[in-house]
Amino acid sequence: MELQSLIYLVVGFTFLVYITIAIVTRASSTGEFYVAGKGIHPVANGMATAADWMSAASFISMAGLIAFIGYDASAYLMGWTGGYVLLALLLAPYLRKHGKFTVPEFIGDRYCSKAARIVAVVCLIVASITYVIGQMKGVGVAFSRFLEIEFEMGVLVGMCIVFIYAVLGGMKGITYTQIAQYVILIFAYTVPAAFISIQLTGNPIPQLGLGSEMLATTAGESTYLLDKLDAVLHDLGFAAFTEQKGSTINLFLLTLSLMIGTAGLPHVIIRFFTVPGVKEARSSAGWALVFIAILYTTAPAVGAMAIFNLAKTVQPEITQQAPRQARDSAPESLSYNERPEWFKTWETTGLLEFEDRNGDGKIQYYNDKNPEFSQTASEYGWQGNELVTVDRDIMVLANPEIAQLPNWVIALVAAGGIAAALSTAAGLLLAISSAISHDLLKGTFTPNISEKTELNAGRFAMAGAILVAGYLGINPPGFAAQVVALAFGLAASSIFPALMMGIFSKRINEKAAIAGMLAGLVSTLVYIFIYKGFFFIPDTHLLANTPDNWLLGISPEAFGAVGAFINFTLAFVVARVTPAPSQKIIDIVNKIRTP
């Protein structure tokens, strides 16, 4: 069967599975809509949490970042997995013991304050909307390639699919859909990785293949994959894959921001309200980490092998000949007229573009921003990098095609990429919906509305959130993983400190919590605006987004850790100069923390 027909068949089948699950498990009450009736088994919940967690950023974009950034992208691996340790130990059991539906509801109860609950809703919506932008970008990338349509149309198709199964099923439908999506995405990620690892190293386990010797070439040469990759990138003017490129402080703060952002993201926390009790909440977190680790330990191999295969395709002699110092002529480049089919297909999406700058009909791919190598390139007759657009988010999806794997593997990757983006988008939209319908309407402004009215309000809120997310997905401020990192920073600076202080400090009162959340959120938003711009107004940043301009070399993606420090500091200062909390609040804290 030809590739396009096979993709339609596999992706169409997965959509049918998702929609069928949503119809069969349709929520009939607010308890089922918000927390799936609190009856999900911890193993099943761990799998659903992993799917909810491993978004387009994890499946599509993270390996793309690793491919182009190399060592520095390890912050994403450490931060996003380390956050689950914090979540399992410091938050999930206590929040589940409190037993309410949402994160803002816990904050409202803990600080005995409707104002604190409203501020928490604002923080939740800002972080979740930012996060869902990355998912919609991933949806657009996947659909545009595999349905062979424009990127914008791909986002619209994804919006329609999410609308059907998320609005119908609520948390109950989303949970069982996410279990199916996890199975699909993990097979779609690991199977191609195993194939490519066998091609390059003969080792079927990608995690081991990354550190293995490559298969010997026709010249009898044998070298380790990472050593060869470093040499290839050096020969193209790029920094070595295994070399640290950014500052250590930024790497540390980015890891910390992603870690505490993970523990503060409401769409992840809400998953631990769906299990029967505290013991199951801890178990769910453990199982989620196991399921997540399967993908996250594979990602470095996928990223390394993807960039190696891209270089091998475009500059084939670079990966076969001696290092640049031993070469006195330009390496042979791929002729544009002889470009492979995958190249032509991705060109139609606008995410891969070629410009023949020297008119030789061949593709020169190198780092034209490297002054040292630019001189060498000019001696070759090259006049700038002719791959003028290589969107990092295409690397995982294009990798099986670049490696010429069987069509069924490419179709499986298509289904996996779409599943990853849709699963997280659904969880985020539910978090936004529940914040609006349960926390703002039912919990604050119209407490007497019926359960049916609240359920319908939640569905309308989700529909509205899908429209906003779709628009922002078409106009994203960066690659999927970068946008998601901003969302983690916002959650780290606003929600995480309020939860931590609410559980472990009896001294923090309503005024302190509100001041801390607002200070953390606003400081992080302002920093993001200065360097990244408003999400709804493209190109509005005040300063160039470069390390030379960043405050102390701290990137916008890493500033969430600084925002969290501001939040904690201001909250403790305000708590010291304002009256202590009432005995009622102290009793709530004691009850939460009693085993």
Closest alpha carbon to 470 in 515, 520, 428: 428
pLDDT in tens, 519-532: 999 999 889 888 87
Strand locations in 202-292 (E): none
Structure tokens at 353: 């573009």
Structure tokens at 304: 């390394």
Q: Flag whether 523 is in a domain.
A: yes
- Spatial separation of the C-alpha atoms in residues 493 and 261, rounded to whole Å: 8
- Mean pLDDT calculated for residue range 522-548: 75
Return the number of other C-beta atoms located less than 10 Å from residue 213's C-beta. Answer: 16
Q: Flag whether 388 is in a domain.
A: no
- Mean pLDDT calculated for residue range 192-202: 91
- Mean pLDDT calculated for residue range 381-398: 84
Residue with token string 């409401």: 266
Residue with token string 């950034």: 69
- Spatial separation of the C-alpha atoms in residues 47 and 280, rounded to whole Å: 13
Q: Cβ distance 217 to 438 under 8 Å?
A: no
Q: Cβ distance 503 to 90 under 8 Å?
A: yes
More confident residue, 94 or 325: 94
**pLDDT for 326:** 47
Q: Cβ distance 390 to 314 under 8 Å?
A: no
Find the helix or strand (DSSP H, E) in which 537 lies. Answer: none
Domain that residue 231 falls in: 3-217+224-305+401-593
Tally the C-alpha atoms within 13 A of residue 419's C-alpha that lie toward its C-beta: 32
CATH number where 566 lies: 1.20.1730.10
Q: What is the mean pLDDT of the chain?
A: 82
- Mean pLDDT calculated for residue range 309-327: 69
Strand partners, 245: none
Report the first-to-last Cα separation within the chain, whole angstroms.
58
Structure tokens at 312: 């091998």
- Spatial separation of the C-alpha atoms in residues 439 and 472, rounded to whole Å: 24
Predicted confidence band at 537 (pLDDT cuts at 50, 70, 90)?
Answer: low
More confident residue, 369 or 140: 369
Q: Flag whether 114 is in a domain.
A: yes
Environment class of residue 335 by beta-carbon count within 10 Å: exposed (0-12), middle (13-18) or buried (19+)? exposed
DSSP 224: B
Closest alpha carbon to 510 in 498, 495, 527: 498
Strand locations in 260-386 (E): 334-335, 352-354, 362-363
Closest alpha carbon to 312 in 196, 427, 394, 420: 196
Return the number of other C-beta atoms located less than 10 Å from residue 28's C-beta. Answer: 14
Predicted confidence band at 517 (pLDDT cuts at 50, 70, 90)?
Answer: very high
- Spatial separation of the C-alpha atoms in residues 524 and 472, rounded to whole Å: 19
Please state, in angstroms and as integers, the Cα–Cα distance from residue 425 to each residue in 53, 64, 158, 341, 456, following that order: 10, 20, 10, 31, 20
Closest alpha carbon to 184 in 404, 45, 13: 13
More confident residue, 503 or 532: 503
pLDDT in tens, 110-143: 999 889 999 998 888 888 887 777 777 777 777 7
Domains held by the chain: number: 1
pLDDT in tens, 248-274: 999 999 999 989 988 887 777 777 777
- Spatial separation of the C-alpha atoms in residues 123 and 57, rounded to whole Å: 21
Q: Cβ distance 200 to 214 under 8 Å?
A: yes
Q: Flag whether 574 is in a domain.
A: yes
Q: Flag whether 365 is in a domain.
A: no
Non-local (6+) Cβ contacts of 378 within 8 A are none
Categorise residue 10: left if φ over 0, alpha if ψ from -120 to 50, beta otherwise. Answer: alpha
- Spatial separation of the C-alpha atoms in residues 437 and 451, rounded to whole Å: 10
Q: Cβ distance 541 to 529 under 8 Å?
A: yes
Categorise residue 6: left if φ over 0, alpha if ψ from -120 to 50, beta otherwise. Answer: alpha
Q: Flag whether 316 is in a domain.
A: no
Categorise residue 237: left if φ over 0, alpha if ψ from -120 to 50, beta otherwise. Answer: left
Map residue 532 onto helix, strand or coil. helix
- Spatial separation of the C-alpha atoms in residues 34 and 273, rounded to whole Å: 9
Strand partners, 235: none
- Spatial separation of the C-alpha atoms in residues 14 and 8, rounded to whole Å: 10
Q: Cβ distance 245 to 320 under 8 Å?
A: no
pLDDT in tens, 282-306: 788 888 888 888 988 999 999 999 9
**pLDDT for 344:** 87
Q: Cβ distance 240 to 234 under 8 Å?
A: yes
Instruction: Return the minimum-mean-pLDDT range out of 32-46, 98-112, 164-178, 321-335.
Output: 321-335
Q: What string of DSSP letters covers 48-92?
A: HHHHHHS-HIIIIIHHHHHHHHGGGGHHHHHHHHHHHHHIIIIIH
**pLDDT for 29:** 62
- Spatial separation of the C-alpha atoms in residues 232 and 332, rounded to whole Å: 14
Q: Flag whether 355 is in a domain.
A: no
Q: Cβ distance 359 to 381 under 8 Å?
A: no
Environment class of residue 205 by beta-carbon count within 10 Å: exposed (0-12), middle (13-18) or buried (19+)? middle
Task: Inform me whether the pLDDT recorded for 476 exceeds 70.
Answer: no
Instruction: Return the minimum-mean-pLDDT range out of 52-56, 167-171, 180-184, 498-502.
Output: 167-171
Instruction: Return the minimum-mean-pLDDT range out of 5-14, 248-257, 444-453, 532-541.
Output: 532-541
DSSP 218: T
Q: Flag whether 585 is in a domain.
A: yes
- Spatial separation of the C-alpha atoms in residues 360 and 357, rounded to whole Å: 8
